[in-house]
Every structure is written in structure tokens, then in C-alpha cells.
Amino acid sequence: MRRSHPNAVRPPATTLIAALTALLFVVLAHAPTPAAADTPDTPDTPGTPAADATIDFARDVRPILQRRCVSCHGPMKQKGGLRLDERQYAVAGTDSGSVIVGGDVGTNEIYRRVTADAPKERMPQKADPLPDDERETLRRWVEQGSPWPDATSNAELAERAGWWDHTTQTLRHWYHTAVGYIRPYLFVIVAGLGVVVLVERGRKLKQADHRWTRGRGGWLFRMCAARRPSHYAVGLLLLTCAILVDYARDKTIEADRLALERDGLTGKQTVWNVFGDPPIPFRPLQPAALERVYYRGNDERDPELFNGGYYRTATFHVDVCDAQMNTLHYGDVPAPGELYIRLNIERAPLTTPHLFTDMTISRVWLSDGLMTSDRRTPSHAIVDLQTIEPLQRWSAHFPIGPAPGKATAMQGVVYLYVGRRDNDPPTGVLRHGIRYDLAFDDTGRVLPKSDLWMGSLLVWQKLVVVPPGKLPMTEWFSDKPIPEIVGHNTDDPVLLGLPEHLGKNVPARNGPADHTPNSAEPQGPPQSDK
């Protein structure tokens, strides 16, 4: 058997271990984070498409959304009411009704946010701005009409990409997954490699009978000399077991979450498991009534705002009226014809008018059907708000059926949405509900047990400590009076929260609010879309 010469030069173990350590640092330092890793069914983009090429959503745009957006706007979290993992959710837009799918580079909210200069507006927040090539891809996608096909299956993506691309994409996903689970143990790995280097160095010194090995610390060098390869194997096995246990735990948690989501019992609160299906707003602890008043509070909190931001922005009046627009009271016999739920909204004194422009009001509408991105039921009518006084008062009359003229009951819920009315079908964010429960006697008179109330259908995920004298977020819409602004309030758009609500249409200080003049006050209920 051929043997190596005893004087042959061989790289010491410490050199090899140091090289492996440096390689590990390079790999982990340049590897994307787990959140940046694409899902297996999301093709990665090799770079910016050619200038004359058509943008392919699955190939070019979806990977950007997965890397940069879905962590805050995905199935587990929807900041601002926005979800960008599927088309059906994205078309609903944000809570403020901003355009996500469609529009141009001047109105598309995704492009505006990723190219914004102000740190508070730019997305993704608390992260570096998007590279120029990704912003260019999004710009061209918006210019081409923001095409977003329906969900594509893994098989269709694999067929489109080819078996080689699909295989490399799967391997890339496995690589990112492995890096994601190894990264938290990086300190342990580096420390372990450092221990190995020291042990190997101590073993060499002991074999050379170095003078350091004969002092009080000689027992350390004897331990180094007694090491066996099996000792390293045991350490590597323990580390591998820890990583596998972590991986199994995460998979178990994910499986439980998916099972709860499948059964409609997700741990995350939704409008469906808080208010029911169909959702019904909580009834206030007040006597039954057919006419109620509610108050909308300001969202922002800052010492420079009036009363620290705790002030009224709008007053809501809701009642039941007959075909002659007379408010119904107990014992009344409604005039023959349609009955309506009437909603009047009035801007509070000294509240900024920029939150009540025609563009903003045009995104508010009523319907008795569920018209959200993830739930849809038939709707008998869709009614828009009509301007009574520009920038000040608006009204909507929602038909609920003809006056019965006999003993009967009428029940239902009318929902207030904020969203895109021009979508087909219209899709919006569910904000409030108006519950009516009417009863009539044999002569058609309204019985005293009839009731009407309105409530917020927003669901909050965060626990907030409410300062003394303030209202919690769940009571920004309340039947309890909220103070009006007295004297002066700031006109700073940022403090007033205008960038969040208006996007790029934020006015300058003291800038006028645009509106379309409308001097003709409606004399009856507006026509609804049936």
C-alpha cells in the first residue's frame, strides 16, 4: 500500500477550519433573509426585463411583492387593510380606497409608495428603498395597466417556466429555507468552530511537548490531546437535532394555523368571527329607538393637535323614513311606498375639509350585500352618498322594502363600504353596519319593539393602553359625544394624517380642498343601482 511521505506538507486542520469559517460567513452574510425568500410557486426574476418586453406578473412583479410587501400586507398581517398576496384582495385597495390595481403612475398607490422620498410614506417601511431595477419593473407594470391574472397553480407555473427553471427554483427555495433555520444558530456555529480551532491547536502543542503544556494549565492540553473525531460528531449531531426540532416546531405551528384557517377559526380576529356571518354590529346599551346619532373621532394623536387629537371629525344621523321622507316614530303608519334607511353625515366644525373631498366621498357607498375581497353575497342595491352641501353635508337613502300595511317584521343590515365603486363587481372595505329590526301591527303601525342602530365593524389586532380621558380605537365611532374643535387646530398635513388617507393628493398648508359645486339639494331619495 502506498503511504505518504512522513515529511510531506499537509494543510493543518486549523487552516481548513478557518477556511470553512470564512466561507460560512460569506454565505450567511450574503444570503437573503427568510422573509425575502420566494415561495416555491413564485418564479424569481433574474433581472430587469428588456425595455421592449411585456411585463409578466408571475415572473417579474409577484417576486417583488413577495420579497418586499407580503410580510406586512399578506395573509397574517394587513397593515392599512391592504393584502397583496392574491389579486382578489389587492383589487379591494386600502382602507382609504387608494388605487392598487390599475390607474397610472400618478395614482397607483404601490408605485407612489415605493418611490416616495419621505421616510414615513415610503414602502417598505424600516427597510432600504427598492433598487432602481425593481422600481422600474413596477413602473412599467403600472404603465401596462397593472395586469394581475387570477391565482396560478404550481403546475401551470412549472409548465410556463420549464422543468429546469422549476427545479432550480425549488432548490433555491430549499436553500433559503435551510439558511433561514441556520441563521439563528450562527453564533453557536461560529463559537463551535472557534472551539475546534483551539482544541486542534492545543493538541498540536501537546504533541510537540511545548513548554505551555507542562504548567498549571497542562490538564487543558491533555484534554485537547485526548479528543476523538466522535466528539466532534456528537456536537454536530446535537446542533443538527436542535435545528430539526426548530423546523418541526415551525411546521407544526403552520399546520395548526392552516387547519384553523380552513375551519374558519383562525386565532387572528376577523370581522366574521367577531361580528358573525353575516356581520351584525354590536347594539349600544341604550333603549330601542328608530333615530340615532353617532360621532366619528379623529385617528391621529399629537400634542400639537387640538385636545391632543381627541376631537370630533363627523356626526352621523341614522333613521328610518317613509316614501315622503318623514322620519318614522313608534305608532306611526308609514306612507304607502318604499321605506328607507337614511344616513346623514355632517363634517364637524373646524375639521380639515381635505378628508371630505368629492374624491373621498365617492369611495363611500351603502349595500345590503357582502362585497369584500374575501366574501360576496347578493346585493339588492348599491347607494352612493349624495352631496347636500359641498364639503359639509352628505346623505344616502337605502331602500329596505315597501311599507307592509299589515302585521309583519322587517330585519336586515345595511353596510357602509370604503372602496372602488368602478370595479366589476364593486369591492370595498367593510367599515360600518346599520341594523334595523322593524315590527308592525295589523294596521301597519310601527310597534315600540322596533329598533335601529349603527356600529363599527372594524377589528383591531393590537392591545392599546388608553391614556386617561381618551377613547380607545374601537370607540372612534361611538354613540357617546366626542368634543368638537374650539378655537384653532393645526393645518400641518402630516399631523392631520392626510398622507395616509389621501396619498399623493396631499395639499400644502392652508391649501383649498377641491370639490365639485352642487347647489341642488336632493328632494327625495337618490336612485340606487339595483
Instruction: Assign 28 a pLDDT band (cuts: 50, 70, 90).
Output: very low
pLDDT at position 349: 92
The set of residues, in sequence order, having a beta carbon less than 8 Å from that of 14 and lying 6+ positions away, is 197, 200, 201, 204
- Condensed to tens digits (0 to 9), the pLDDT of residues 66-109 reads 888 877 777 666 676 677 877 777 776 665 556 667 777 777 78
Strand order in the sheet with 451-456: 382-384, 364-367, 408-420, 427-440, 451-456
HSE (CB half, 13 Å, CA atoms) of 127?
A: 16
In this prediction, residues 421-445 reach a mean pLDDT of 87
pLDDT top residue among 30 and 247: 247
pLDDT at position 265: 46
pLDDT at position 472: 58
pLDDT at position 331: 93
339, β-bridge pairs:
401
pLDDT at position 475: 63
Distance CA 449, CA 266 (A): 36
Most confident of 112-126, 213-227, 333-347, 466-480: 333-347
Distance CA 352, CA 488 (A): 11
**Does pLDDT of 328 surpass 90?**
yes
Task: Give percent above pLDDT 70 in the chain.
Answer: 67
- The answer to whether residues 413 and 257 touch, using CB atoms and an 8 Å cutoff, is no
Instruction: Assign 266 a pLDDT band (cuts: 50, 70, 90).
Output: very low
Find how far residue 145's CA is from the centre of its chain.
23
In this prediction, residues 29-37 reach a mean pLDDT of 42
> Which residue, chain included where needed, has cell 360600518?
432
pLDDT at position 46: 43
- Condensed to tens digits (0 to 9), the pLDDT of residues 220-246 reads 888 888 877 787 888 888 888 887 887
**Does pLDDT of 29 surpass 50?**
no
Full-model pTM? 0.54
- Condensed to tens digits (0 to 9), the pLDDT of residues 150-192 reads 654 444 444 444 555 556 656 666 766 666 667 777 778 888 8
The set of residues, in sequence order, having a beta carbon less than 8 Å from that of 485 and lying 6+ positions away, is 306, 307, 311, 312, 348, 349, 350, 351
- Look at the alpha carbons of 386, 388, 394, 396 in this order and tell me if their dihedral is positive or negative: negative
Q: Residue 386 corresponds to which amino acid? A: Q
**Does pLDDT of 493 surpass 90?**
no
Distance CA 293, CA 299 (A): 19
Instruction: Assign 52 a pLDDT band (cuts: 50, 70, 90).
Output: low
3-state secondary structure of 305: coil
Residue-level length of the chain: 530
- Condensed to tens digits (0 to 9), the pLDDT of residues 336-355 reads 999 999 999 999 998 888 88
- The answer to whether residues 152 and 56 touch, using CB atoms and an 8 Å cutoff, is no
**Does pLDDT of 507 surpass 70?**
no
pLDDT at position 434: 96
In this prediction, residues 444-459 reach a mean pLDDT of 91
pLDDT top residue among 246 and 472: 246
Instruction: Assign 214 a pLDDT band (cuts: 50, 70, 90).
Output: confident
Instruction: Assign 368 a pLDDT band (cuts: 50, 70, 90).
Output: very high
- The answer to whether residues 193 and 21 touch, using CB atoms and an 8 Å cutoff, is yes
- The answer to whether residues 267 and 76 touch, using CB atoms and an 8 Å cutoff, is no
- Condensed to tens digits (0 to 9), the pLDDT of residues 282-317 reads 988 889 999 999 999 887 777 888 888 888 999 999
pLDDT at position 413: 95
**Does pLDDT of 319 surpass 70?**
yes
- The answer to whether residues 101 and 381 touch, using CB atoms and an 8 Å cutoff, is no
Task: Give percent above pLDDT 90 in the chain.
Answer: 21
Between vectors from CA 500 to CA 498 and to CA 506, what angle results, nearest 5°?
40
- Condensed to tens digits (0 to 9), the pLDDT of residues 57-77 reads 888 888 888 888 877 777 666
For all residues of the chain together, what is the average pLDDT?
75
